[in-house]
Amino acid sequence: MPLENILSEHSELFAFTVAEGEAGCRLDKFLADREDVSAAHISRTRVKTLIEQGRATVAGSVATDANHRLSAGEAVTLKVPPPEPAQPQGEDIALNIVYEDSHLLVVDKPAGLVVHPASGHESGTLVNALIGHCGDSLSGIGGVKKPGVVHRIDKDTSGLLVVAKTDAAHIGLSRLFEDHGRELLLVREYLAFVWGVPGRRHGVIDAPIGRHATHRERMAVVSAARGREAVTHYETLQELGVAALVKCRLETGRTHQIRVHMAHIGHPLIGDATYGSGFKTKVALLSADSRAAATALGRQALHAATLGFEHPVTRAEMFFESRLPRDLEKLKESLAKG
């Protein structure tokens, strides 16, 4: 494929030379670790996609293998195309908007709503609802399928998330999420109902997360070499017999992080068919009301309850809270009764 045919004249060019100490590095990791690439808010996943699209070169030749090992002295380039307009169609889907200004909005997402179009969910998503609400004003930095999307929560997780309406807001919010709240203001707290009661009331789970070795649709705690840093702080708020209500604060935001981490320490989420299937027998230990509430959930008992951040444009400190939805409130009430 001729290089000139795959690159837009409006694309952004990044060019680097492989240093002696970087010989043997994977192409995707090498590019994702470059300061200029990071500053442009291009994730490693995005870098991999661009490589597979033929937008990277090594020693003057197009490279489409993200796993390609580099040699010292090789010239490496990456061409990043300009943001694409949103292509999903706007739909008249009710949104629970808890805050909105000209730069961003905060949505309280119900369980069951997919955040952005994907295979099997081309419509009826939060993005379709947002386009219907905002029109063409959503930030295009997220790409065709994810306009305005800075972060997401699972389909079956309810709660708060922030959406960018302008590119300036998108860039600023991306910087916040990449910082993980270490130097910039970012607070993400979830309420989770888990099986069993953690032995320690407070704790920190510091365990890398990556794709499961054999079940590729699942995530798992893996070695540092195979995964990405993942840190979750938890606090037991209430003991509920054979279960507990736990507050989890994210220091990082990996896919399925809370679900994987709580299962890793032996306390998977109630209703989590992916990471808590081994605890199905515990349902029999519940009272009739609790058993009915747990069975009726049809999802993991997880709610994004608190979201705090510095507004990327006005610099005002924003803080939002969301009450437990009725299905989780009912579960809590029934578990508390015993």
Catalogue the active-site residues.
154
- Give the separation between CA 213 and CA 211, rounded to whole angstroms: 6
Q: Is the dihedral of CA 189, 191, 196, 197 positive or negative?
A: positive
Helix (H, G, I), strand (E, B) or coil at 48: helix
β-sheet bridge partners, residue 238: 245
Secondary structure of 281-306 as H, E, C letters: HHHHHCCHHHHHHHHHHCCCCEEEEE
Rounded alpha-carbon distances, angstroms, from residue 188 to 84, 181, 185, 251, 323:
29, 9, 10, 8, 14
- Among 15, 26, 25, which residue's Cα sits nearest to residue 55? 15
Strand bridging mode 302-310 / 158-164: parallel
Residue appearing with tokens 């509430």 = 293
